[in-house]
């Protein structure tokens, strides 16, 4: 289990940018793709402040092993949902493409 801080909180079975419905995984994947904090904030203004984006990124960098484990858990849950609620091949392909792109740039 990941720790939390003023920028990242646990809720609804997942980790979120504190005070928002923006999943930590969204920030992780955008950050891994090289998207700067300013662009992440622009894409998700409901985060509330650029400082919160930087706080979430700092959290990600300070806990790389835990974040990686969390992402693996999220992938496992996705596979369970996919098995329980079959989706069209087109939908599966879109999800798989997004997951592949996100995993191509691991945290160092």
Sketch the domain layout of the chain as residue ranges.
8-103
Q: Note down pLDDT in tens along the chain; length 108 residues.
A: 677 788 999 888 789 999 999 999 999 999 999 999 999 999 999 999 999 999 999 999 999 998 999 999 888 887 888 788 877 888 878 878 777 665 554 444
Provide the token pair at 62: 């300070």
Cα–Cα dist 83/20, whole Å:
29
Cα–Cα dist 24/8, whole Å:
7
């Amino acid at each position: 289990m990941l720790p939390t801080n003023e920028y990242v909180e646990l809720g609804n079975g997942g980790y979120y940018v504190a005070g928002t419905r923006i999943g930590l995984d969204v920030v992780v994947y955008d950050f891994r793709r090289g998207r700067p904090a300013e662009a992440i904030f622009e894409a998700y203004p409901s985060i509330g402040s650029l400082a919160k984006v930087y706080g979430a990124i700092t959290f990600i960098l300070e806990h790389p092993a835990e974040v990686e484990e969390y992402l693996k858990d999220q992938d496992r849950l996705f596979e369970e949902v996919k098995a329980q609620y079959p989706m069209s091949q087109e939908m599966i392909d879109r999800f798989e493409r997004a997951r592949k792109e996100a995993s191509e740039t691991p945290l160092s």
